[in-house]
Amino acid sequence: MKIQFLGHSCFSIASGSYTLLIDPFLSASPVAAARAEEVSATHLFVTHGHHDHLGDALAIAARCRPVVYATVETARLFPDDLTVEPGQIGGFVAAPFGGVKWTAALHGSGVPGSLACGYLLTIEGKKIYHAGDTGLSTEMSLLAEENVDAALLPIGDRYTMGPADALRALKLIRPRLVVPMHYNTWPLIRQDAVRFAEAAVAAGTKAVVLQPGETLDL
């Protein structure tokens, strides 16, 4: 499968006939590698309702008509004529590409009554954890038993974990590979991702820094 970073927390994962799009913040993103009209999705994931995650999700959903995953109240933002898979933290649903589990995130959701979340995706038998926006939490230690192949972790600090806590998160999650996200979109979350990656490698976790538009083969 191919994991393309589209900037900020947006990733497009291509596997067989499926395209999974996560947090499509594109048209208003200063670092987006694609325009909202250019991307496609068979399955669309929203971690929470903040503008830098919900982004262009409604427009893309209207155009591509993907299956939409979100926590319950955030899922209600999408029109009834779409196929929506609402869930809550700890819940799992099977999907044609594998499965989806909603994971805990320590963060506001931007939607009254809703929780922010991350996603543990099973695709081609591999597991990809997109943390969403979150601070470091002990809940992450539950992921160690999941044998995560790739962890997509925020390192921007201020609104989420920073690099130091993301390194602590690696000790809890123990993924095979980490990709940093949610940094350098704006000055307030400027970070040195290469330095983070070097520290991750020194601590025993493979790390890949993707520039917006770059793709990783998993």
Report, in Å, the least distance between residue 48 CB and Ni ion.
6
Report, in Å, the least distance between residue 110 CB and Ni ion.
7
Residue number of the CB closest to Ni ion reads: 50
Contact region with Mn ion (CB under 5 A), list: 25-33, 63-71, 96-104, 127-135:
127-135
Q: Does 133 bind Mn ion (CB under 5 A)?
A: yes
One DSSP character per residue, 171-197 reads HHH--SEEEEES-SSSGGG---HHHHH
As a whole number of angstroms, the distance between CA 167 and CA 200 comes to 6
Q: How many residues bind Mn ion (CB under 5 A)?
A: 2
Residues 20-79 interacting with Ni ion (rule: CB under 5 A): 50
Alpha helices (H) along the chain: 51-54, 57-64, 72-75, 163-173, 193-202
Find out whether 71 and 54 touch, Cβ atoms under 8 Å: no
145's CB contacts (< 8 A; 6+ apart) are none
Contact region with Ni ion (CB under 5 A), list: 25-33, 57-65, 126-134, 200-208:
126-134
Which one of residues 133, 149, 157, 165 is an interface residue with Ni ion (CB under 5 A)? 133
Contact region with Mn ion (CB under 5 A), list: 28-36, 109-117, 126-134, 194-202:
126-134
Q: Does 157 bind Mn ion (CB under 5 A)?
A: no
Burial of residue 139 (CB within 10 Å: 0-12, 13-18, 19+) is middle
22 by DSSP, 3-state: which?
Answer: strand
Q: Does 52 bind Mn ion (CB under 5 A)?
A: yes
Contact region with Mn ion (CB under 5 A), list: 36-44, 62-70, 131-139, 168-176:
131-139
Q: How many residues bind Ni ion (CB under 5 A)?
A: 2
Which residue, chain included where needed, has tokens 């499509």? 24
Compute how many other C-beta atoms are within 10 angstroms of the C-beta atom of residue 41.
Answer: 23
Calculate the alpha carbon distances from 36 to 16, 39, 90, 126, 211 in Å: 22, 6, 30, 27, 18
Compute how many other C-beta atoms are within 10 angstroms of the C-beta atom of residue 118.
Answer: 29
Kindly list the residues in this chain that would bind Ni ion in the complex (CB under 5 A).
50, 133
Q: In the complex, which residues of this chain contact Mn ion (CB under 5 A)?
A: 52, 133
